[in-house]
Structure 1
């Protein structure tokens, strides 16, 4: 295995005297804690009337309320809390300060943000049209007004809960050891598997969901992770931009999709997301020859051309 010099913005290797086995195996501990804490916190939601119905209790507030009260606490307790815990134990306050700087790095050309805001709805609209055989309908003014507030809500819920763990914590460390593509093929399936208990609830169409839905979801997370890795690397590890990419998908489906395609089946969303992700992944893998924006000779970190154009690969 080729050994590369660590990049400037890679997490500093912790001293052996700090954190013991957690400091020696931070990524393993991160994934174990992320899964364990989230799954434990999701147990009431899974057993409630929103899931298996073992407990005679239903989370209030309909679909949105049950997600905020049943799903979100476990999401926050998993990836982001685990990343902060492992970073704090293994790297101390200096590591936490560096984590905060990376999380608030908005120093990316506005073209990147514009590209994500336009590309995600465009890609999902095209894939849905191709699968459903129907053209899109212009959404109502109410949907257009709600789109940006919905995106902000998604950023501080889904984006903030998940991406500080999967992309900010795990990816730089795994890329430094394995390179971009292998790291993506580790993070992608684990990111998808972390969601699996939720398929027993209304979140995933449960509790009697079939095998196809979670398998399709896992395939989508792997393909979409390829796109996420490329953006992560090419944007200078900009976490706000990575979070925007992730949450733009959620926001489009939850806010606009049903009005843009009023006659399409709700299951088409999963198929459209998979088609768009696989298409994007194949294009990026071919265009970058598997490097996914990671410069040759560097096992972690990214190119520093923060002002580059989004079309560059």
Structure 2
């Protein structure tokens, strides 16, 4: 007879997705309903730890060691080129977007360059540690490798990206984000593909993904600040964002293919032994683990 935890054992990614959404929304909805303006940005921080907490909880519920999972996700020892890529890709796309926005807006806004540069420096620290980077312990550190054990890298990326976009829903409903939800979702799915390329290419380096996520969040708003805001653009900012990162994602799919999105094999979980259900079956059969 199965235990009450059997659904979590059989469907760990679905359990993770449901718990990540539930934890974050349970914090965001009551909190962001009471605060507005710049304060709302800081009020999003507690809920942004939902994916990390969900990954740890599901890992523990399945009888696996959270310490092993954390040790695996915190392993930063990779070639420096992957950390360089984590910085260069978002910044490169943002520079290209900036050039396009300046052309569309007819020039740089008056007195915008210095404040935009200062904001980028501050946002790099904030976004990497508290404003997005920490999500990667869940999205890439837990969900992606498990999905890649069953699906090709592109399908896994899209699945993570769609849930990741949905996870942000309260931020749109409660007017924290003044963006097009549909175009934002497209850009998030594109980000997800790019992050899978980084994750697989770097042999599962979550710290590099944390850095890329933080750099994306810090850099994409710089071009908008430089031209003086959305009001000076003839097209939606999120449309340009989706186009820029969408083109990079399509280039990666074309270059490496959907199976791995990388010159290396797709990464699957390495932080645990056999799943509890498999362990029980092994013990009942009297055959030891190899």
Do the two structures share a fold, i.e. TM-score over 0.5?
A: yes
How far off its partner does 1:150 sit?
Answer: 2.3
RMSD: 2.8
CA offsets, 1:37-58, max 9 Å, x none?
Answer: 212222214533xxxxxxxxx3
Alpha-carbon offset, residue 130 of structure 1: 2.8
Q: Tell me what 2:48 maps to.
A: 75
What residue is the counterpart of 2:285 in the other structure? none
Q: Partners of 1:186 and 1:36 in 2: how far apart?
A: 18
Aligned-pair CA distance for 1:262 = 2.9
TM-score by length of 1: 0.74
Corresponding residue SS for 1:158: coil
Quick one: distance in 2 between partners of 1:35 and 1:120? Answer: 26
Match of 1:117 among 87, 103, 128: 87
CA separation of 1:116 and 1:128: change in aligned 2, threshold 3 A: same
Find out whether 1:84 has 2:56 as its counterpart: yes
| Corresponding residue for residue 272 of structure 1 | 240
Check 1:301–1:272 CA distance in 2 against 1; reply closer, same or farther (3 A cut): farther
Answer whether contact 2:200 2:267 (CA < 8 A) is retained. Answer: no
- Is residue 262 from structure 1 mapped to residue 248 from structure 2 by the alignment? no
Partner of 1:35 in structure 2?
Answer: 21
How many Å separate the matches in 1 of 2:40 and 2:124?
Answer: 19
User: 1:151 — aligned with what?
Assistant: 124
| Structure 1 residues 141 and 215: alpha-carbon distance in aligned structure 2, compared to 1, 3 A threshold | closer
TM-score (norm 2): 0.79
Distance across 2 between alignment mates of 1:166 and 1:115:
19
Matches of 1:84 and 1:239, distance apart in 2: 15
Pairing 1:171–2:144 present: yes
CA distance in 2, matches of 1:278, 1:142: 28
**1:98 CA displacement:** 2.1
Quick one: distance in 2 between partners of 1:42 and 1:227? 27
2-side partners of 1:243 and 1:72: how far apart?
15
| Contact 2:112–2:228 (8 Å) recurs in 1 | no
8 Å CA contact retained: 1:80, 1:161: yes
Cα distance, 1:244–1:35 mapped onto 2, change above 3 Å = same
Judged with a 3 Å threshold, the aligned counterparts in structure 2 of structure 1 residues 176 and 226 are, in CA distance, closer, same or farther, namely: same
Instruction: Give 2:257's aligned residue.
Output: 289
Pick one of 182, 185, 194 that aligns with 2:158. 185
Shift in alpha-carbon separation, 1:282–1:135, aligned structure 2, 3 A: farther
1:169-228: CA deviations, max 9, x gaps?
Answer: 0000000111211111211111111111211123222xxx8xxx1111111111221111
Q: Separation in 2 of the partners of 1:114 and 1:66?
A: 32
Distance change in 2, residues 1:277/1:97 (3 Å) = same
Instruction: Please list every run of 5 or more consecutive structure 2 residues that lacks an aligned counterpart in the other structure.
Output: 271-290
The yes-or-no answer on 1:217 pairing with 2:203 is no
